[in-house]
Structure 1
Amino acid sequence: MTEVVSQWSGRRRILLIAALFALPVIAAYALYLSGWRPSSTGNHGELVQPARPIEDVALTLLDGKPIRFSDLHGKWTLIAFGAAQCLTPCESNLYKMRQVIESQGKEAERLQSVMVVTDARARDWLHYTMKDYPDTRVIAGPADGVTKLARQFVLPAGSPLDNLNRIYLVDPLGNFLMSYPADADPSGMRKDLVRLLKVSRIG
């Protein structure tokens, strides 16, 4: 009888320990199913929840060559929108994107930067500016294609056509994941991308 009681006591102890380990997992799963999410995720950018697939659009590059938005798939893409006469906020975004990508070291090849021209006037100015950013693709038209693309990046603050000077992040599958305001800290952007590239199996 004493042996049976001892066995039961041992099993109860094991079950209690197992329950203590399982409780956090059960609680986390219940919170996930309820739709609760932490107010702070550790990201420096603003998450798009849920991620938004970007519809394919026919576009043209600055040199007139055709390109489709889907041609950008396969890499993590930083996108900025701005007028052809690229003034201070636009140049700041170009600089940020270049520096953030270069800072990724050997992982930099998994990233690309794109500038989408919302006003194709002053192209001479744009050609001059882009000499400092030879690795950045420039989408310069057509106007209806640029508008169709820009409207897919609408946020509560507005669309890229409202001169928000934000930087947008699209994953290698073509999903809009995150955006950064005009005054975003490049070091925060770099940290986000380090984390994404470390855990991601795509791109």
Structure 2
Amino acid sequence: MTDAVRRSASRRKILLLAALFALPVIVAYALYFSGWRPASTGNHGELVQPVRPVTDATLTRLDGGPMRFSELHGKWTLLTFSAAECLKPCERNLYNMRQVIAAQGDKAGRVQSLLVVTDLKALELLRYAVKDYPGMRVIVGPPEAVAELARQFTLPASSPLDNLNRIYLVDPLGNFMMSYPADADPNGIRKDLARLLRASRVG
């Protein structure tokens, strides 16, 4: 093999290696500029980007005692809004939150649940409904503070007050970071929460 042939073969190898390294970058750029995006991410919930710090407020518990929202800091919080009559969507959310937390095993103590009541017309029914959920905090007022809290969880296409019956996730620092629609698979919520608990050094 002559020197010219060897140089030509060596040049082809170098060009081939360069093409192999450049190909992923070229494909990525092509996909990006064509408008393609992944159909889904590793999360089952809908991320809030950027996360929203929830403003502290003085609230009223179901037993009449005061509570500040900041008391929830330090743990992951699953939160839902509902009228006091707590119809089937509300019952489903409370049940799902309880099961998702219990499924975290020895990490369950790092998670808490909160029901924020938006309408007090059936308060006695609510007292009966929440007996099956010991440890869950229930906020019933004052109305102005509840309304302001609800506004902080408004999403681009919905509000917690429009009967979408979502479950919201607040991190241990008090940031609203993710939500789940009414028909969300509780197994997906469980997986998301388990992943966060493994990765997080807070809460």
- TM above 0.5, one fold? yes
Query: Structure 2 CA distance, aligned partners of 1:70 and 1:184?
Result: 27
Partner residue, 1:166: 166
Partner residue, 1:111: 111
Structure 1 residue 185 and structure 2 residue 156: aligned? no
For structure 1, the residue ranges without an aligned partner over 5 or more in a row are: 1-15, 29-36
Structure 1 residue 138 and structure 2 residue 163: aligned? no
Partner residue, 1:153: 153
Structure 1 residue 59 and structure 2 residue 69: aligned? no
CA shift digits 1:59-90 (9 cap, x unpaired): 01001100011111110000010000011000
Query: Structure 2 CA distance, aligned partners of 1:159 and 1:58?
Result: 22
Partner residue, 2:49: 49
Give identity over the alignment, percent: 70
Query: Structure 2 CA distance, aligned partners of 1:49 and 1:68?
Result: 25
Displacement, 1:183?
Answer: 0.6
Displacement, 1:164?
Answer: 1.3
Displacement, 1:159?
Answer: 1.3
Query: Structure 2 CA distance, aligned partners of 1:87 and 1:79?
Result: 16
Q: How does 1:68-147 map to 2 (within 5 A)?
A: 68-147=68-147
Runs (4 or more) in structure 1 with deviation over 3 Å come to: none
Query: Structure 2 CA distance, aligned partners of 1:118 and 1:47?
Result: 24
Query: Structure 2 CA distance, aligned partners of 1:39 and 1:76?
Result: 27
Displacement, 1:156?
Answer: 1.8
User: What amino acid does structure 1 have at the position aligned with 2:54?
Assistant: I
Displacement, 1:39?
Answer: 5.4
TM-score, normalization by structure 2: 0.82
User: What amino acid does structure 2 have at the position aligned with 1:62?
Assistant: L
Decide whether aligned partners of structure 1 residues 49 and 96 sit closer, same or farther in structure 2, where only a CA change above 3 A counts: same
Displacement, 1:38?
Answer: 5.5
Aligned residues: 181
For structure 2, the residue ranges without an aligned partner over 5 or more in a row are: 1-16, 29-36
CA shift digits 1:89-145 (9 cap, x unpaired): 000000000000000000000000000000012110000001101111000000000
Secondary structure of 2:152 counterpart: helix
TM-score, normalization by structure 1: 0.82
CA shift digits 1:32-74 (9 cap, x unpaired): xxxxx86532100000011111111110100110001111111
Over the aligned positions, Cα root-mean-square deviation in angstroms equals 2.4
User: What amino acid does structure 1 have at the position aligned with 2:188?
Assistant: G
Decide whether aligned partners of structure 1 residues 169 and 57 sit closer, same or farther in structure 2, where only a CA change above 3 A counts: same
